[in-house]
Amino acid sequence: MYKKFFIQTFGCQMNEHDSEVMAGLLEEIFYIPTTDIAEADFILLNTCCIREKAESKVLSMLGEMKKYKAKKPDLIIGVCGCMIQQKNIVPKILHASPYVSLMFGTNNMNKLPDYLQQIAKTSQPIYEIVDEDSDADLKLPASRQFPFKAYTNIMYGCNNYCTYCIVPFVRGRERSRRMDDIVEEVRGLAADGVVEIMLLGQNVDSYGNDFEEDVSFADLLREVDKIDGIKRIRFMTSHPKDFSLELIDVIKNSWHICPSLHLPVQSGSNEVLKRMNRKYTREHYLDIVNNIRAAIPDVSLTTDIIVGFPGETEEMFQETVDLVETVGFDNAFSFIYSKRPGTAAAKFPDDTPLAEKKERLQRLNQSLSKWSHHHNKKYEGKIVEVLVEGTSKNDDNMLSGRTDTAKTVIFPGDKSLVGKFVNVKITTAQTWILKGKLEEKE
Ligand code: 5AD
Ligand code: SF4
């Protein structure tokens, strides 16, 4: 008898990929996925703890689980991922939601099938958090969300200890996967029909630094670029302190690496950058941007920015706005600083009221959306190649896909085109999306 599972994923692509791996593990023990949470026999929340809001969402969703458990006493409710890897979180969750019967962190998700089998046998809950870092060479199956695009982890963990960030505490030290294993995995994905690959790591530019031999991220990209069938290569996340000129060269001279770079700047103020422990200056960041644009003129640049870091004054914030105006990003994720217990910045004095931080975020977002619209406008009248990802969220007759520069394009078309490359003529540029119509390929 098949059992049904429902996984809710919070947070970044790394978590999304972990959920794909866990779905793959579950399918090996005869669980099948369901999109209807009410009919699931196993509900798993794969959590994120990067900001307080991410945690509150998990806690409130756990509260809603109570009604499902009341209706179906055999239901197993599990919580896993980054949030669980933090100190003292298990008792906190159990206090609020005692019906949670499985909790595990990021280092032991490979044991999920064992845990479920044990719970089925003994009816006893399992809460297991493993502190040491998991084996970076572990090969696990993945049940992919999309047949035509896939994530591949190239490394785990982060050594950077940016002072605001909880990731190094929950994801451990940097561990790179062997290049041969990555290449073999991507070849397998290509053979399986995957045309777009996203290489994942917290800081991909330091790939290979933990190896004795001299292997860099640029070397890895050159190898992945040679794999037949992979038409688009993306990667995230880069760190400005490690971003090399060699990398720019590899991207420029590659066949398949997309001209689309996500390079988090976090702040435009040198003082704030210093206290964030980012290890680069605004001048260095602007230099990288100039080098990238000189080599790859049609590149699309995106970033992450934190507003209201402890001690950020209005002048320091203005330096961030000024940097945004200087670079003119294609898109950006902007966040209000969220205090994470255990990080260095949690002890920094922070006297800016939240209302003021919110107001700064609004001003920043105005500048960001202005630039996004500006870049999108340049596409009007052009024909772009789009990989169709699915139907539009709001309209089943519309398709949604992406350009190599990661712009979302919405256009009328038939579902049979999902997973295919098509040419689309852009008719209207909006702030965050492009609209267009299909062009016949000659
Ligand atoms: N508060 C706000 N934003 C944060 N980020 C990481 N930690 C925090 C925090 N404590 C943001 C950074 C990072 C992105 C993934 O999340 O901008 O690049
Ligand atoms: Fe966090 Fe900094 Fe590591 Fe990114 S590089 S995961 S922001 S510590």
Query: What gap in Å lies between CA 104 and CA 112, rounded to an integer?
Result: 8
Q: State which of 167, 169, 207, 303 you would mutate to test the pocket of ligand 2, scoring each by most atoms of that ligand within 8 A of its C-beta.
A: 167
Which positions of the chain have pLDDT values less than 50? none
Q: Which ligand is nearest to the CA of 12?
A: 1
Q: Nearest ligand to the C-alpha of residue 276?
A: 2
CA of 104 relative to ligand 2 center, distance in Å:
22
Give the Å distance between the CA of 367 and the centre of ligand 2: 25
Atom of ligand 2 nearest to the CA of 237: 4
The number of angstroms, rounded, from the C-alpha of 128 to the middle of its chain's C-alpha atoms is: 25
239 lines ligand 2 (CB under 6 A): yes
pLDDT value for 396: 85
> Which numbered atom of ligand 2 lies nearest the CA of 239?
5
**pTM of the complete model beyond 0.85:** yes
Asked if residue 160 has its Cβ within 6 Å of ligand 2, the reply is yes
Cα(420)–Cα(401) distance, integer angstroms: 10
The H or E element that residue 62 is part of is helix 52-71
DSSP string, 97-119: -TT--EEE-SS-GGGHHHHHHHH
Q: Which ligand is nearest to the CA of 203?
A: 2
* DSSP per position, 185-214: HHHHHHHTT--EEEEE-TTGGGTTTTSSS-
CA of 213 to the centre of ligand 2 (A): 25
Residue 70 CA, ligand 1 centroid: distance in Å = 37
Query: Which residue ranges have their beta carbon within 6 Å of ligand 1?
Result: 50-51, 164-165, 264, 266, 304, 306, 335, 337-338, 340
Of 164, 312, 354, the one to substitute when testing ligand 1's pocket (max ligand atoms within 8 A of C-beta) is: 164
162 lines ligand 2 (CB under 6 A): yes
CA of 151 to the centre of ligand 1 (A): 21
Q: Could you tell me the distance, in angstroms and rounded to a whole number, from the CA of residue 281 to the centre of ligand 1?
A: 18
> What's the gap in Å between 293 CA and the centre of ligand 2?
25
Give the pairing of strands 76-81 and 421-429: unpaired
Cα three-residue angle 40-44-50, rounded to 5 degrees: 150
Question: Ligand 2: does its nearest atom lie under 6 Å from the Cβ of 204?
Answer: no
Note the pLDDT of residue 145: 87
The atom of ligand 1 lying closest to the CA of 340 is 10
The answer to whether the Cα torsion of 395, 396, 399, 401 is positive or negative is: positive
Strands (E), 158-254: 175-176, 196-200, 232-236
pLDDT for 134 equals: 65
Q: Ligand 2 atom closest to Cα of 166?
A: 1
Q: How far is the CA of 196 from the centre of ligand 1 (A)?
A: 27
Token representation of residue 287: 């230099």
**Number of neighbours of residue 131 by Cβ within 10 angstroms:** 8
